[in-house]
Structure 1
């Protein structure tokens, strides 16, 4: 795709060669691409991404103001439906894009993976100033490439669109957009005034670049790539150990039964025939001792190293029982705190992307003539639940004790428990009338 965009628009990918190789490696680890000397079956990258994504959205909930219109609620529902996919794409590739698409008077969202777009320009903070994307189409037995270049400017967003007929793997001739019915409504160049950036919301991991030091985002498991490969090699060595340790029966050839073609054979993985030497006549069993404990101990050590590098709690990847050295309560709590901070950072990243996406809906809605997309009404409140370390039951028990001791008004405790407003006396009165039983005189 970079060569296509370079030919069409005269621009090249600003991502460094080192970062491109790292992106390919992250994707290979996630999708389990085979590598010589490694066993990709455990798929630890997929395990890390899956566990983090489930934890991030375990108690996720969004709320809009009561006066928010139905198109706004419909757009937010579409964005929430794409949330987990977007988070997983970002965890794997470091970054992904959320593209708002008008649909039925509201907006739907398409998630663009990191290897499916090309950054053409970034500022010093890593924000996209120009980006290129490509879509493949087919019609009448011919292949087409729809190339789109988005450029941020002081006056707004400029979108350039080109349609090419592919010549094998090469970019062929440029054809009119009306050649394909799906592209008939597009124009070669469109300017959207008042739209910030490239008109796409960006979700990126909150990690510092550990590949080339640039402003490009990196995969959530980028710091542990070396350990993930070491784990894959350890797994392959363990497989080899079991294969080499399988029992073998050495038998003289006169004991092997001939088959229909007159060939003598039994199970090749168990019986091995020897020449009919009088000294070798009979059966000998070979069963070497396995050394799996050494490999398993090494594997657990590597898994704990991954947990430390990625800020995961002990036991997320490794076996807690495998830890033989004594650990203090402070050490155990420290790993839980690291994990909590990791989840909070990812939740904050999605919260920023969510607000940017809804703000884009408001800007694009005004340009497209869609009603009810007021900027203030389109900003949702996000509730992440209790979190990893937050113990709601313990806090509630403490508040009840304070109420019993006369140190806290029961209305305030109930307002906290049910997440109700309690700033004014009128709001406290509503809590009292709704939840507290009336006392008989």
Structure 2
């Protein structure tokens, strides 16, 4: 049964506020006359000019939004990923282009929607749609257009969408694991969630609340907005309540501002940051008090291991990128590309590189080869949302000696809260 049919009502609320890659892609695939994003003409930077071109799109945060430190490197990694695919011979008689249709929404939902509408008739699929609220804004149109998209976000609602190709653990299970880890490791008895008032924040908040109730620990929340200068209310709440644990569902600049201000005021509790909260820049600069607080008090959770990890996928990524400053956002961009590659290969093998063919291929892909960057079970999309969702989280501690500033403290941990939760609705909708 298609994932989209399993939770129509819950996903509608959100919209308002893969057999593996590596198999044969068959002979030259065909596309219906006028199929968007597929041409007989070669790609602009073709390696083999006898091949046609599959155009992919990316709507990212590249310059000034709260996640531009994520968007720019992950986009570069995705471009390197598809160059590698082309160097390996392409897919079904085509090479893949992710250079012509790359745009910057600055994490603004209205801009994201406008840019999508400008792009949608020019690409076969979206290699990237960055952000949870931005992707939710275009989700009804993705469905209507049968536009398969790889999200640069991890909300649990994506588990219920055929057009969305998610990878890794969602924010909901990530936050559950964070709470269980804090209780198990630090014996935490109280927590405060500082979160953006959007889909990213709501999904993390839902998971944290479920785990807090299961662990019977005191639980409070405070909503905040992106911007280091806007964190006074969050800082005041932390200093007033002095919780054992603060879960930060924000961006890196806001993490730095909150830790700097609370540490100067004497707060000694623990912080855990969701995946988008980390940047090695938190360990750099002249603010020695902030750096000391990050080293001592902060733990970062992630859906996969860091840039320097020894796996076939990590190794291929580093070779494809060449001489770059190590950054874990490169890793995210690379990992997010595997499911879309698997779907394009399946559609090509079916001889149907159209929107309908892509959506049909999504439903046929039951396993994805992440080349060791995720455990094998992470690529099994054959079940319902609850059985298919991957729940393991990597816990990292800051370490200036590591290439990207973090060292693995616990490897793909799944706590009892995530293990025991029945995912029947997105966590932002769970009561």
Pair in the same fold by TM > 0.5: no
Q: TM-score, normalised by structure 1?
A: 0.30
Higher relative contact order (CA 8 A, sep 6+): 2
